[in-house]
Amino acid sequence: MSANPARRIPSVKRQGEKENSPGGPPIGRRRWLGLPSAILILTLAFAADAIAQPQLESAYARLMFSNPEDIATLNKSIDFGESGGWFASSDPAAVEKRLRGKIDALYDKAQRILDMRKPMRPKVLLRVLHDENERATTFFKIFKRNGQARAWYVYEFNTVYINAQDVNEGIIAHEFAHAIIDHYLSVRPPRASAEILATYVDKYLFDDVRTRNDFQ
C-alpha cells in the first residue's frame, strides 16, 4: 500500500510568535528569547527519541524500532538473503548484521526486478512498529482514520511502516518497491500503476530477474 498522509507534518510554532500579553516584554525581545529555547526543546526531544528508539543503518535503509527486542523478531520474520544457518550466533551484533544484510538484499532485489537502479538520498526509513496496537495508532495519526493495512509507504516522509509481529519478506519488498518507483521516475506514476509494479515485485521476489532480452 502507498498513500498520502491526511496532513503534512505540523510546522513548529515558535514561542516568540505567540500573542504578546499586556505588560509583557516587547515582541521583538520575546522572539529573540523564544527561538533558541524552541530549538533547545526540539533538540532535546530528538535526542530523547534517539535514545528511546534503537536504530540501525544498512547500505540502502535506516531502520527505527520502538522496542529493541524487535530487531531479533524482524530478523526471524525475513526469509531472504543470508540467514546464517541453523547454528547462527544469537549475539545481538551478529543478529543486527544479518538483519542489515537481509534488508539490503531485499532492496537490491526490488531494484533489479524493477530495473530501477539509482541511489536514493536520503535513504528510505523503515519504521518498525512494535505490535498491532502501535500499527493501528500510527496509521490513525498519519491518515486521520482507521485502516487495516499491514504495512504502508508514505512518500512525503520517505518511510515504510511495518508491524514487527506481522511482517514477511514479501511485504517489505512490496513497500520498498513503492519507495523505489516513486523516486526513480521524475513524475510519480498513478497509484494503480505503482501498485501493479509493487505487487509484481513481491510476487516474483524469489524468481530469477528477467533481463531486457526476456521481454518481448
CA distances from 111 to 116, 138, 173, 181 (A): 5, 28, 10, 9
Contact between 171 and Zn ion by CB under 5 A: the answer reads no
Cell numbers given for 11: 510546522
* Closer residue to Zn ion, CB minimum distance, 78 or 171: 171
Interface with Zn ion (CB under 5 A), residue from 1, 126, 154, 164: 1
Stretch that binds Zn ion, among 43-51, 94-102, 181-189, 195-203 (CB under 5 A): 195-203
**Cβ at position 178, least distance to Zn ion in Å:** 6
Number of residues that bind Zn ion (CB under 5 A): 3
Residues 102, 85: Cα–Cα separation, whole Å: 13
DSSP of 148-196, one letter per residue? --SSEEEGGGTEEEEETTS--HHHHHHHHHHHHHHHHSSSPPPHHHHHH
Interface with Zn ion (CB under 5 A), residue from 74, 171, 198, 205: 198
Residue 141 burial (CB count, 10 A): 11
**Cβ at position 106, least distance to Zn ion in Å:** 15
* Closer residue to Zn ion, CB minimum distance, 95 or 179: 179
Stretch that binds Zn ion, among 9-17, 27-35, 182-190, 196-204 (CB under 5 A): 196-204
Contact between 151 and Zn ion by CB under 5 A: the answer reads no
Residues 57, 170: Cα–Cα separation, whole Å: 20
CB 110 within 8 A of CB 197: no
| Residues near Zn ion (CB under 5 A) | 1, 195, 198
